[in-house]
């Protein structure tokens, strides 16, 4: 091997190697520069994104803070309202306690008032009571007109003549009224005086007295037809009302059969202690002596005598007589004799009673 060859073998670096090294180094620098430039671009983008996120976070923080402030205000208002509610609740509890005390006091007062009322009612039972007349009394200042009538015993029969003669003062005028309406017949002055006199007698009855009312014309009818076997009391206000109403509904008509009336009294479930009769004269009919045609004074006297034989014994008979002005002159004397024989009475009210 030549010297030149040996030298070439010992050369480690040659021009080509250096060129390669330089080229490689330059490539590395180029890559490095390119990488730095790209990284700078990437960092700027990241920074922009971060800044955007920061801005959004700031906005969100601002919104959240406003919400928190609003919530804090609401919470403060709610706390104030809660304090007011608590204060009101305390006041309501105080008011409730006060009302409970007032209610308790009222209950105590009510109990005391009830006890006082019971005492007063008990005292009232011991007080004397003023009895009010069960029947309205016409012309209260004229009581003396009927004081002569005697009411004996606890059971009394009022016997009321309801014949056509009770329509007027004379036979002729009474007959003339027979064609009137029922309303006019009930309003006839003589009949109204009879009803008022009966109301007087009912008003004078004591609370323990029992009575029955019989109307007689050609037949005999109880004041309450379905209760003819009963005895009434002035304490029975409802029945008294029915009786007063019925009194003003009766229409006088027909003849007068006193014999049948006295016989009806005989067959009552209990005989009365006294009889009070309202009439205007002697009877005009008799079951024992049937008579057709006009009835004269002689027949009427005979009818009266037969009728009195049907009276139960030992019963006082008092007569309130509204005498006819014509046609019956014997009536006052015969009824006076009947009163004396039975220890009764005979009263003849003034024609003007109770108007004057």
Asked whether 159 and 310 are in contact (CB, 8 A), the reply is no
Max avg pLDDT among 43-47, 116-120, 302-306: 302-306
> 276 forms bridges with which residues in the sheet?
158, 318
d(CA 58, CA 152): 122
Instruction: Please tell me the predicted confidence (pLDDT) of residue 143.
Output: 44
Q: What is the mean pLDDT of residues 48-55?
A: 82
Instruction: Please tell me the predicted confidence (pLDDT) of residue 141.
Output: 43
**pLDDT at residue 11 tops 60:** no
Instruction: Please tell me the predicted confidence (pLDDT) of residue 137.
Output: 46
Instruction: Please tell me the predicted confidence (pLDDT) of residue 353.
Output: 61
- Do strands 210-216 and 220-222 pair parallel, antiparallel, or not at all (unpaired)? antiparallel
Write the CATH number of the domain with boundaries 140-347: 3.40.50.410
**pLDDT-based confidence at residue 12 (cuts at 50, 70, 90):** low
**pLDDT at residue 33 tops 80:** no
**pLDDT at residue 144 tops 50:** no
CB atoms within 10 A of CB 279: 25
Using the structure block, give the residue that is written with the tokens 């009575």. Answer: 211
Q: What is the mean pLDDT of residues 134-140?
A: 48
pTM score: 0.61
Asked whether 162 and 250 are in contact (CB, 8 A), the reply is yes
Summarised one tens digit per residue, pLDDT across range 77-100 is: 888 888 888 888 888 888 888 888
d(CA 152, CA 54): 127
Pairwise pLDDT comparison (323 vs 5), residue with the higher score: 323
Domain boundaries, the chain: 17-129, 140-347
Pairwise pLDDT comparison (353 vs 187), residue with the higher score: 187
Instruction: Please tell me the predicted confidence (pLDDT) of residue 42.
Output: 57
Q: What is the mean pLDDT of residues 242-249?
A: 94
- DSSP per-residue codes, 317-349: EEEEE---SSS-TTHHHHHHHHHHHHT--EE--
């Amino acid at each position: 091997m030549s010297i030149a060859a040996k030298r070439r073998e010992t050369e480690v670096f040659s021009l080509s190697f250096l060129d390669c090294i330089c080229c490689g180094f330059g490539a590395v620098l180029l890559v490095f520069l390119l990488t730095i430039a790209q990284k700078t671009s990437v960092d700027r983008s990241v920074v922009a994104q971060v800044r955007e996120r920061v801005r959004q976070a700031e906005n969100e923080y601002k919104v959240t803070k406003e919400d928190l402030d609003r919530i804090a205000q609401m919470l403060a208002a709610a706390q104030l309202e809660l304090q007011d509610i608590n204060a009101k609740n305390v006041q309501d509890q105080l008011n409730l306690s006060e009302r409970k005390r007032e209610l308790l006091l009222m209950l105590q007062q009510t109990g005391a008032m009830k006890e006082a009322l019971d005492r007063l009612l008990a005292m009232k039972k011991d007080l004397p009571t003023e009895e009010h007349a069960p029947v309205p009394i016409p012309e209260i200042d004229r009581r003396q007109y009927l004081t002569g009538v005697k009411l004996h015993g606890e059971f009394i029969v009022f016997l009321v003549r309801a014949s056509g003669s009770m329509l007027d003062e004379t036979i002729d005028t009474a007959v003339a009224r027979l064609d009137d309406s029922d309303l006019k017949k009930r309003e006839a002055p003589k009949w109204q005086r009879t009803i008022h006199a009966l109301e007087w007698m009912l008003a004078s009855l004591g609370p323990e007295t029992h009575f029955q009312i019989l109307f007689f014309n050609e037949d005999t009818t109880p004041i309450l037809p379905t209760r003819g076997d009963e005895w009434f009391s002035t304490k029975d206000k409802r029945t008294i009302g029915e009786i007063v109403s019925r009194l003003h509904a009766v229409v006088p008509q027909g003849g007068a059969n006193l014999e049948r009336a006295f016989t009806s009294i005989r067959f009552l479930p209990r005989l009365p202690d006294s009889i009070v009769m309202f009439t205007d004269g002697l009877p005009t009919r008799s079951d024992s002596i049937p008579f057709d045609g006009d009835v004269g004074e002689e027949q009427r006297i005979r009818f009266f005598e037969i009728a009195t034989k049907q009276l139960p014994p030992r019963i006082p008979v008092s007569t309130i007589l509204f005498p006819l002005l014509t046609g019956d002159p014997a009536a006052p004397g015969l009824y006076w004799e009947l009163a004396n024989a039975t220890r009764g009475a005979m009263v003849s009210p003034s024609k003007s009673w109770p108007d004057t």
